Amino acid sequence: MERKTLQEITEGIRPADGAALTAAQERMDSLIKPLGSLGKLESMAVKMAGITGKVKNTVEKRCSIVMVADNGIIEEGVAGSPKDITLIQGMNMTKGICGMGVLSAYANADIKVVDIGIDADYNNDKVYHRKIKYGADNFAKGPAMSRSECIQAIEVGIEMVGLAKEEGYEILGTGEMGIGNTSSTSAVLMAFTGLSAEKAVGKGGGLTDEGLAHKKEVITGALELNRPDPADPIDVISKVGGLDIAGLTGCFLAAAYYRLPIVIDGVISALAALAACRINPLVKDYLFSSHRSIEPAYDLICRELGIEPMLDMDMRLGEGTGCTLAFNIIGAACAMMRNMATFEDIKYDQSYRIDIRQEKEAETDE
């Protein structure tokens, strides 16, 4: 497989296919149902057409890319789980026995587990070994990684999506595993937006109120120390981000380049999607959001991206679990577009139909 650089991918992204979007909307409006009656399923099916250039699509060949990496910031006592969980759960994904493994199997989806920065050596031939370094550095004491390491990590994500494209996958999910990565996520979001720790920092996998207060203090101090440039996403990720965030950022960029739909999971992958959109705003045309994470940063990121999650399940596991649920919903939307009859097919006059969508839009504007 020919490997693409970050620059090649970023410069090669094109917007959604306008002609396909128009054709898909016309077909959607001709299907035997009241106009707009299937709500968000309709907009999903139309969006798929803009991504692929085809009105009728399938998303039966599914794969989630899970970036696994440790985070040096846990030295500051900001995580509620022990560090070795990163390695343990990364390995459990390859066995199919953790949450992501079970839900992926149920959704008939594959997983590519990528070691982009686990702070350990091990033997597992089911892992894609792409370790940039043994975990990101503690960004409370200095940058999490160098700029060149950040670019390397982004290009790992690009490589993995290129491989998935080559293998014929029709839709991608994004996941991560890394104790301490909600801290790096909050730090990157705060750097991008200027939000305070009070608004952007949550309890992650589980902290006491005292632990949360300490986490906010550590992240605020780290931003003052590193002073990342909000206009330069790579500078932000390299200074206060994580290797998993960088890898997922590459996944979102490459999915847009290869015209593949890609699903956001929880707060970490949502942040990576935001970073990718900061690098190239056209990435937004290729995104689907799965579920609403209960981390406070999640809704803030969604507002920045202008997207709305399709599910609200009180989930906060991460790993890519929300994507496994979204695959079937997006698949249902595509099946509707492919297989439902039109009024022309059944030779029935559709002039009786009233389009109430404009009324709803007017109510929203008010």
pLDDT at 365: 54
Active site residue 319: yes
Please tell me which residue in 26, 170, 319, 366 is annotated as part of the active site. 319
In 14-129, which ranges are E strands? Answer: 62-69, 109-117, 127-129
Nearest to 115 by CA among 96, 134, 100, 99: 134
**Can you tell me the mean pLDDT for 73-96?**
93
The CATH number fitting domain 16-57+334-365, selected from 3.40.50.720, 1.10.1610.10, 3.40.630.10, 3.40.50.300: 1.10.1610.10
pLDDT digits 0-9 by tens, 254-283 = 999 999 999 999 999 999 999 999 999 999
pLDDT at 359: 64
Structural domain boundaries of the chain? 16-57+334-365, 62-328
Domains 16-57+334-365 and 62-328 share a fold: no
Band (pLDDT 50/70/90 cuts) for residue 316 is confident
Architecture (CATH level 2) of domain 62-328: 3-Layer(aba) Sandwich (3.40)
* Percent of the chain with pLDDT strictly greater than 70: 97
**Can you tell me the mean pLDDT for 236-259?**
98
pLDDT at 250: 98
pLDDT digits 0-9 by tens, 186-226 = 999 999 999 998 888 877 777 777 878 889 999 999 999 99
pLDDT at 6: 97
Cα–Cα distance for residue pair 23/81, rounded to 1 Å: 50
Tell me the pTM. 0.95
pLDDT at 362 > cutoff 70: no
Contacts of 43 (CB under 8 A, 6+ apart): none
pLDDT at 51: 98
In the chain, which ranges are E strands? Answer: 62-69, 109-117, 127-129, 171-177, 262-264, 287-289
Position 98: which residue type?
C
The overall average pLDDT reported for the chain is 94
pLDDT at 103 > cutoff 70: yes
